[in-house]
Amino acid sequence: MTTPDPPPARELLRTEGIRKTFPGVVALDGVDFDLREGEVHVLLGENGAGKSTLIKVLSGTYRADAGRVLRGGRPVRISGAEDAEKHGIATIHQEFNLVPQLSIAENIFLGRQPRRLGLVDRKKMEDDAAVLLGRVGISAPPRTPVSQLGIAGRQMVEIAKALSLKTRVLIMDEPTAVLTSEEVNRLFAIVRKLRSEGVGIVLITHHLEEIPAIGDRVTVLRDGRSVGQVPATTPQDEMVKLMVGRSIEQQYPRDTGKASAAVKGRQPLLRVTGLRKSGVFHDIGFEVRAGEVVGVAGLVGAGRTEVVRAVFGADHYDAGRVEVGGKKLPGGDVWAAHAAGLGLVPEDRKGQGLLPDASVSDNLGLVTLRETSKGGFVDRGGQRKEATRIAERLGVRMAGIDQHVRTLSGGNQQKVVIGKWLLANSRVLILDEPTRGVDVGAKVEIYQLINELTASGHAVLMISSDLPEVLGMSDRILVMSQGRIAGELTAQEASQDAVMALAVGSATPGTTEMEDSPRGH
């Protein structure tokens, strides 16, 4: 009746009833999962659903409390990186395990450099590395220090390292989160090549639209349990429903453009004119009015983060003017920016936004520490009370106000970072990639918060590399390209194509811009 099925692909990896608890939390509760040769198996779930815990069990970082892992049908014990390596399992974490000062070749063969007479055989190491680099499509010579590579390049070095280990199971934790769309395409090309060579790939991503493009099967985790296994072609809303256990009516709950039309012509809350930092950005000018969400789109490296950091006073600029509520801000003074009503939620939550080993209360009270102090003494009781209030308002899911923020999920950590500026009552909030690494449910909560803020007269300037998010949440969109504002789009004009055209510079008629720009000195 039907054509005979192709011979079933061999099973590479299987977990049965994996359970893992941490004090007070069941992270994994009987998870079954399997991976076949030559497939891309997507792990989907909200933050805190157990994805990271599962891959840490597979890579030997954690030992499961119960259940077993089978590799090629045989039960195995993976109690460390060495075991994982022995079984051909390699993991590429979000934070890369690379030594920036060492060369690409040294990084690939770190700890197992080819040796001759006890000395490192540099020639062989670099030749072998060159072959691997060819496989992942990197043209940089193997002697290049890793610090000279961009994020995408470093990721490829990690993949090359995995290949050098004769990896059969490659686990990738959100590999696309930090890549531009072009880089994502290149990554996927390599993933497809590996798949055709029979490697099994476990992929974690928050970008649902990537799943049909690259995945074969999808396992959805929720609250530490596997709640379903579906083909990668499953419609997005069904997958979201599985993830959150309910359907999300509207992913972007904003009536874009309405606010901008309403406040047109009014005094801007934030006005930037002629901002310049040599070699980084030029001629930056824009306005944000109360009630508006202004999106900032552009490719990674277009200078978006650099601009907002300068506006906020985190970095110095060479020329230009930043006004908040009509008053000029001194450059390079975060405290003054805060006092004038600016707040910044930085791009790198853990590295720049949080004190990971301090409590939720201490983190929330950080910005307001000074104004709530009297004669140099801190009002810790009052601070706790305020922190509790704001944490409740934001719905931060935590064991208590004294819990360390390191142990919160990404979405809840982000709420804490935003919360400290809400406590400070900042009128203009600059959000740099506010939902990166945040799960679908918490994303919507953050969008709703943005709506509440703008409705009560705040203004939001939002950088995002997530195009649907920029389009779905911004009343106006500034598109940056190569350190300049390449164009501004209203919500009506904006589309993925229009934004991308400006971002890659193809929409600019002529190339006069390049001649105008004072490159160097």
Partner 1 sequence: MAIDTQPGHRLDKRPGGNGTPPVVRRILLDNGALSALVVMVVAMTFMSGDFLSTQNLLNVGVQAAVTAILAFGVTFAIVSGGIDLSVGSVAAFSAVMLGWFTTTEGMPVFLGVLLAILTGTACGLVNGLLISYGKLPPFIATLAMLSAARGLGLVVSDGTPITLPESMSWVGQTLGEWLPVPVLVMIGMGLITAVVLQRTYSGRSMYAIGGNEEAAHLSGIRVPRQKLVIYALVGTFAAVAGIVLATRLASAQPQAATGYELDAIAAVVIGGASLAGGVGKASGTLIGALILAVLRNGLNLLDVSAFWQQVVIGAVIALAVLLDTLRRRA
Alpha carbon distances (Å) from 513 to 284, 417, 482, 498, 520: 14, 38, 11, 19, 15
Q: What is the 3-state secondary structure (H, E, C) of 101-170?
A: CCEHHHHHCCCCCCEECCEECHHHHHHHHHHHHHHHCCCCCCCCEHHHCCHHHHHHHHHHHHHHCCCCEE
Q: Which is nearer to partner 1, 103 or 413 (CB)?
A: 413
> Residue 353 Cβ, how far from partner 1 at the closest point, in Å?
6
Residue carrying structure tokens 């001629």:
283
Q: Which of 483, 410, 402, 433 is nearest to 295 (CA)?
A: 433
> Residue 433 Cβ, how far from partner 1 at the closest point, in Å?
14
Alpha helix locations (H) across 165-218?
A: 181-196, 211-214
Contact 168, 200 (CB under 8 A): yes
Q: Which is nearer to partner 1, 339 or 500 (CB)?
A: 339
> Residue 373 Cβ, how far from partner 1 at the closest point, in Å?
4
Q: Which is nearer to partner 1, 179 or 423 (CB)?
A: 423
Q: Which is nearer to partner 1, 260 or 363 (CB)?
A: 363
493 Cβ contact partners less than 8 Å away, ≥ 6 residues apart: none
Contact 228, 219 (CB under 8 A): yes
> Residue 382 Cβ, how far from partner 1 at the closest point, in Å?
12
For residue 231, the number of C-alpha atoms closer than 13 Å in the C-beta half-sphere is 2
Q: Could you tell me where the beta strands, DSSP code E, fall in 413-468?
A: 428-432, 459-463
| DSSP per position, 466-499 | -HHHHHHH-SEEEEEETTEEEEEEETTT--HHHH
Q: Which is nearer to partner 1, 100 or 134 (CB)?
A: 100
Binding site for partner 1 (CB under 8 A): 23-24, 312, 314, 334-335, 337-339, 344, 346, 351-358, 362, 366-367, 369-370, 373, 376-378, 380, 399-400, 402-404, 407, 420
Q: Residue 460 in 3-state DSSP?
A: strand
In angstroms, the first-to-last Cα distance of the chain is 75
The total number of residues written for the chain in this structure: 521
> Residue 52 Cβ, how far from partner 1 at the closest point, in Å?
17
Q: Which is nearer to partner 1, 193 or 389 (CB)?
A: 389
> Residue 333 Cβ, how far from partner 1 at the closest point, in Å?
8
> Residue 81 Cβ, how far from partner 1 at the closest point, in Å?
18
Q: Which is nearer to partner 1, 383 or 481 (CB)?
A: 383
Q: Which is nearer to partner 1, 7 or 24 (CB)?
A: 24
Q: Which of 148, 56, 45 is nearest to 94 (CA)?
A: 56
Q: Which is nearer to partner 1, 141 or 351 (CB)?
A: 351
Given phi > 0 = left and psi -120 to 50 = alpha, else beta, which region is 337? alpha
Both tokens of residue 257? 């453009």
Q: Cα 239 vs. chain centroid, distance in angstroms?
A: 20
Q: Which is nearer to partner 1, 52 or 383 (CB)?
A: 383
Question: Bridge-partner residues for 202, per DSSP?
Answer: 41, 171
Angle at which helix 410-423 crosses helix 440-455, to 10 degrees, equals 10
> Residue 424 Cβ, how far from partner 1 at the closest point, in Å?
8
> Residue 404 Cβ, how far from partner 1 at the closest point, in Å?
6
Q: Which is nearer to partner 1, 186 or 397 (CB)?
A: 397
Contact 31, 225 (CB under 8 A): yes
> Residue 448 Cβ, how far from partner 1 at the closest point, in Å?
24
> Residue 25 Cβ, how far from partner 1 at the closest point, in Å?
10
Q: Which is nearer to partner 1, 262 or 378 (CB)?
A: 378
* Distance from C-alpha of 134 to C-alpha of 146, rounded to nearest angstrom: 16
> Residue 461 Cβ, how far from partner 1 at the closest point, in Å?
15
